[in-house]
């Protein structure tokens, strides 16, 4: 299980980038809700320990049990259906030994591992219709379970990650082009249909979020209230921000203008309290982490390692983009946390475990 590795092959750059981003997250979460500071700090410490342990376990051994990983993932998602805790109209959590756990967050990582091995094992058939149908079915089962929670934003995230992994696995450009030609008008048609009265495609609250995004001035006092306040908060931070744990009454956290600022709108807290410089710093850190993941994919000894690294890069990059876009009004509210920054111990520990796997991939990198 454990192999002999050389210290010089350890990716300390990635570790420093991830921990730096996590420290900013701890400070931001603590400023947004002081009573969560200790829990977020504990989450980071637990995550780091798990990351270091996982980094010395041969990832090929983990992938050997890829079928079991898929089954475990399905069992965890099913546990939400039967034993889940409902909060705010959504059933996404289960309570395990007094610890609240969100299986949809671990599902992203487990599906990355499963499909990395599955694609590598059958890479000769990746462009065949049969293979793509099998992949669609295997993806569809957990996807439907996540949608049932309901969690549309996480479902979209899983689809994006899956598409990136297929592309890295060797999917033909012709198929990619065909899918894009179909997907673009299909998405436009979908948006048109969901905005029609009496539609049954998505929930009413999801339709309202889209309407508030398209016409924020019309919903300024209701659904778009938080997004507008988020943009105002980010702008009020100016260059250097108002400072962490400030006592300004009109701030996001002190004025209670945004509910749950420690999760979906954590970027608003950062923009307001650390200013343009702090917000840009977070964006740069995310970009550097994504580039480092892609570099690990380039150096990987096999296709599965490359797929995992690119899958994690897509997860961190696209999810960060979604979270920041919601806070700045570029996209409708999705309820997606910012990786390593937002409060949420399941997401935090899962991401650290994924980074641990990437560190092991780097330790076994090809030598040039």
What digits encode the pLDDT tens for the residues 187-221?
A: 778 777 766 776 666 666 667 677 666 666 666 66
The mean pLDDT of 67-79, rounded to a whole number, is 94
Query: What is the sign of the dihedral through the CA atoms of 102, 148, 319 and 213?
Result: negative
Angle at the Cα of 323 (from 322 to 327), degrees rounded to 5?
115
| pLDDT beyond 90 at 315 | yes
* The residue to which tokens 């296709």 are assigned: 303
Closest listed residue to residue 287, CA positions, set 15, 9, 17: 17
The mean pLDDT of 9-24, rounded to a whole number, is 95
Distances (CA, A) of 187 to 180, 190, 191, 321: 10, 5, 6, 19
How far, in Å, CA of 186 to CA of 287, rounded?
30
Q: What is the mean pLDDT of the chain?
A: 87
Give the tokens for residue 355: 């980074």
Where does the chain show beta strands of DSSP type E?
A: 85-87, 90-96, 99-101
| pLDDT beyond 70 at 367 | no
> Pairing between strand 85-87 and 90-96?
antiparallel
How far, in Å, CA of 68 to CA of 140, rounded?
17
How far, in Å, CA of 264 to CA of 203, rounded?
19
> Pairing between strand 90-96 and 99-101?
antiparallel
Angle at the Cα of 158 (from 138 to 288), degrees rounded to 5?
135
| pLDDT beyond 60 at 368 | no
Tens of pLDDT, residues 334-356: 778 899 999 989 999 999 999 99
Closest listed residue to residue 15, CA positions, set 72, 59, 55, 63: 55
CB atoms within 10 A of CB 173: 8
Cβ-count burial 8-23 (b if 16+ within 10 Å, e if not): eebbeebbebbbbbbe
Contacts of 200 (CB under 8 A, 6+ apart): none
pLDDT band, residue 288 (cuts 50/70/90): very high
* The residue to which tokens 């091995």 are assigned: 117
How far, in Å, CA of 285 to CA of 313, rounded?
13
Tens of pLDDT, residues 102-120: 889 999 999 999 999 999 9
pLDDT band, residue 73 (cuts 50/70/90): very high
pLDDT at residue 65 in the model: 94
To the nearest 10 degrees (0 to 180), the angle between helices 37-55 and 345-363 is: 20
How far, in Å, CA of 300 to CA of 362, rounded?
7
pLDDT at residue 2 in the model: 54
How far, in Å, CA of 278 to CA of 241, rounded?
8
pLDDT: which is higher, 40 or 330? 40
Distances (CA, A) of 166 to 155, 170, 319, 352: 17, 7, 18, 23
How far, in Å, CA of 17 to CA of 77, rounded?
31
Contacts of 15 (CB under 8 A, 6+ apart): 51, 355, 359
pLDDT band, residue 88 (cuts 50/70/90): low
pLDDT: which is higher, 151 or 10? 10
Asked if residues 171 and 124 have their Cβ atoms less than 8 Å apart, the reply is: no
How far, in Å, CA of 91 to CA of 318, rounded?
24
Tens of pLDDT, residues 215-247: 666 666 667 667 888 888 888 888 988 888 777
Helix-strand-coil split of the chain, %, nearest 5: 70, 5, 25
- Segment holding 178, helix H or strand E: helix 173-194
């Amino acid at each position: 299980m454990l192999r002999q590795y050389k210290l010089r092959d350890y990716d300390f750059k990635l570790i420093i980038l991830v921990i730096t981003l996590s420290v900013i997250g701890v400070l931001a979460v603590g400023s947004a809700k002081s009573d969560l500071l200790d829990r977020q700090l504990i989450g980071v410490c637990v995550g780091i320990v798990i990351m270091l342990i996982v980094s010395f376990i041969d990832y090929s051994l983990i992938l050997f049990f890829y079928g079991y990983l898929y089954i475990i993932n399905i069992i965890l998602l099913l546990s939400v259906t039967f034993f889940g805790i409902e909060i705010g109209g959504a059933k996404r959590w289960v309570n395990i030994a007094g610890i609240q756990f969100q299986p949809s967050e671990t599902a992203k990582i487990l599906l990355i591992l499963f499909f990395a091995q599955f694609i590598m094992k059958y890479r000769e058939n990746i462009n065949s219709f049969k293979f793509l149908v099998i992949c669609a079915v295997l993806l569809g089962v957990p996807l439907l379970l996540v949608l049932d929670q309901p969690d549309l934003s996480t479902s979209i995230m899983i689809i994006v990650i899956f598409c990136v992994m297929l592309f890295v696995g060797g999917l033909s450009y012709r198929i990619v082009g065909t899918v894009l030609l179909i997907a673009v008008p299909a998405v436009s048609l979908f948006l048109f249909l969901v905005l029609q009265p009496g539609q049954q495609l998505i929930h009413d609250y999801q339709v309202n979020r889209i309407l508030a995004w398209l016409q924020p001035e019309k919903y300024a006092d209701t659904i778009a209230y938080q997004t507008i306040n988020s943009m105002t908060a980010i702008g009020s931070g100016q260059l250097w921000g108002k400072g962490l744990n400030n006592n300004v009454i009109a701030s996001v956290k002190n004025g209670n203008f945004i509910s749950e600022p420690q999760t979906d709108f954590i970027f608003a807290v950062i923009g307001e309290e650390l200013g343009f410089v702090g917000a840009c710093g977070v964006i740069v850190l995310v970009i550097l982490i994504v580039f480092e993941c892609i570099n690990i994919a380039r150096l990987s000894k096999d296709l599965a390692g490359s797929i995992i690294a690119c899958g994690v890069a897509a997860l961190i990059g696209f999810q960060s983009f979604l979270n920041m876009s919601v806070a700045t009004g570029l996209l409708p509210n999705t309820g997606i946390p910012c990786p390593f920054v937002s409060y949420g111990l399941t997401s935090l520990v899962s991401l650290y475990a994924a980074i641990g796997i990437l560190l092991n991939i780097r330790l076994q990198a090809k030598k040039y």
